[in-house]
Amino acid sequence: MTDRDQDEIEASRAPLMDHLIELRQRLFVCVIAFALAFILCFFFAADIQIFLIKPYQAAAAVHAAAIAKGAHGGNPFELLAVTMGIHPIPTGGQSAVQLIATAPLEQLFTKMKIAGFGAIVLAFPVLAWQLYRFVAPGLYRNEKGAFLPFLIAAPVLFCLGAALVYFVMLPFVMWFSLEQQIAVDGITVA
């Protein structure tokens, strides 16, 4: 530890009460950021829900079109192309999706869950920055430099992972689940 590092740590020392006040202020900023993001996501919850249902719609249409053609359940790579927008949704199959809400307030709770998860995603940069600003005074200069790239890389990698799940993994899961249906001799289990 150099004298410069020691002086930097000494300059950032504060009584416990000062740390608690700073923590309260940073948590308040995080709660405000989350609340604003929640309100924004709740306003667009129906659009977000439709966006999240699109892979199922594509899977159901590709599966129904394949069944109509006499194929067992279609090709999962065709479904991948439809989900990514490379191919249009087949018109020969089922393109309408009917989901069922079994409780009076289920759709409201679904919108609230969508808004909550969306708010975490939208507010993450603010949350991460507040966390960094709270712990930064206790870090050495080289530790601060090592911490900042993670703050930048985390949202980027999260978005890449979400895109991978939405465009690649979800179509395969939908295809697999639709393949588990039984429809023979007048018996249908879906």
Contact yes or no for 52/165 (Cβ under 8 A): no
Contact yes or no for 55/174 (Cβ under 8 A): yes
- Identify the pLDDT of residue 45: 96
DSSP states of 84-128:
TTSSPPPSSS---------STTHHHHHHHHHHHHHHHHHHHHHHH
Hey, CA dihedral for 141, 142, 145, 148, is it positive or negative?
Answer: negative
- 41-97 tens-digit pLDDT: 999 999 999 998 888 888 888 877 877 777 666 677 787 888 777 888 877 655 577
Q: Which residue has the tokens 């507040």?
A: 130
- Identify the pLDDT of residue 30: 96
Q: State the pTM of this model.
A: 0.77
Higher pLDDT, 3 or 94: 3
- 9-25 tens-digit pLDDT: 665 666 778 888 999 99
